Amino acid sequence: FIFAWPTARYAVMSGDSAAGTLVEIKIKQLEREGKKLSEQQKEELYESVRSTYERQTDPRYAAARLWVDAIIDPAQTREALICALEAAALNPEVKEFKTGVLQT
- pLDDT tens-digit profile of 22-46? 899 999 998 899 988 888 988 998 9
In a domain, residue 28? The reply is yes
In a domain, residue 71? The reply is yes
In a domain, residue 104? The reply is no
| Total domains in the fold of the chain | 1
In a domain, residue 57? The reply is yes
Helix H, strand E, coil C: the string for the chain is: CCEECCCCCCCCCCHHHHHHHHHHHHHHHHHHCCCCCCHHHHHHHHHHHHHHHHHHCCHHHHHHCCCCCEECCHHHHHHHHHHHHHHHHCCCCCCCCCCCCCCC
On whether the CB atoms of residues 103 and 20 are closer than 8 A, the answer is no
pLDDT per residue as tens digits for the range 7-27: 998 888 888 898 899 899 999
In a domain, residue 76? The reply is yes
Supply the angle between the helices 15-32 and 39-56 in degrees, to the nearest 10: 130
In a domain, residue 31? The reply is yes
Cα(76)–Cα(35) distance, integer angstroms:
53
Mean pLDDT of the 42-58 span: 90
Count CB neighbours of 5 within 10 A.
14
In a domain, residue 93? The reply is no
- State which residues form the domain around 38: 3-86
In a domain, residue 92? The reply is no
- The predicted model scores a pTM of 0.66
- Pairwise pLDDT comparison (102 vs 11), residue with the higher score: 11
